[in-house]
Amino acid sequence: GAGVSQTPSNKVTEKGKYVELRCDPISGHTALYWYRQSLGQGPEFLIYFQGTGAADDSGLPNDRFFAVRPEGSVSTLKIQRTERGDSAVYLCASSPSFGTDTQYFGPGTRLTVL
């Protein structure tokens, strides 16, 4: 595709439920990033993949959050036992190879936990 795509664009769930957010990076990009943007804040780093492996997951807030990228392309961010504080826009970005390449952002998934 032409750019980074994310699905769903909006997700409403109830407290305690499990959710999965998907990111399709630009074809051929080996580096992939997840950021979280809470209302009125700038995006905050969550995790960085280089290929299939998570090179840095230090931004994940707790063990309810997990992300995978099994084939080095599509990535899924998984949130267990959602809490109201998890409500935010989750942004995905990709870059061609090295971590210092320009990051191209997707439109984000707006997650609302009721």
Partner 1 sequence: KQEVTQIPAALSVPEGENLVLNCSFTDSAIYNLQWFRQDPGKGLTSLLLIQSSQREQTSGRLNASLDKSSGRSTLYIAASQPGDSATYLCAVRQSGGSNYKLTFGKGTLLTVNP
Interacting residues with partner 1 (CB under 8 A): 4, 9, 31, 33, 35, 40-45, 48, 55-56, 59, 91, 93, 98-100, 102-108, 110
**Shortest distance, CB of residue 81 to partner 1, whole angstroms?**
27
Query: Which lies closer to partner 1 via its Cβ, residue 51 or residue 59?
Result: 59
Query: Which lies closer to partner 1 via its Cβ, residue 80 or residue 112?
Result: 112
Q: What DSSP element (H or E) covers 33?
A: strand 31-37
Query: Which lies closer to partner 1 via its Cβ, residue 2 or residue 14?
Result: 2
For 48-80, what is the HEC assignment?
EEECCEEEECCCCCCCCEEEECCCCCCEEEEEC
**Shortest distance, CB of residue 108 to partner 1, whole angstroms?**
6
**Residue type at 75 in one-letter notation:** S
Query: Which lies closer to partner 1 via its Cβ, residue 19 or residue 31?
Result: 31
- The answer, yes or no, to whether the previous bond of 8 is cis (omega within 30 of 0) is yes
**Residue type at 7 in one-letter notation:** T
For 28, the 3-state DSSP assignment is: coil
**Shortest distance, CB of residue 37 to partner 1, whole angstroms?**
8
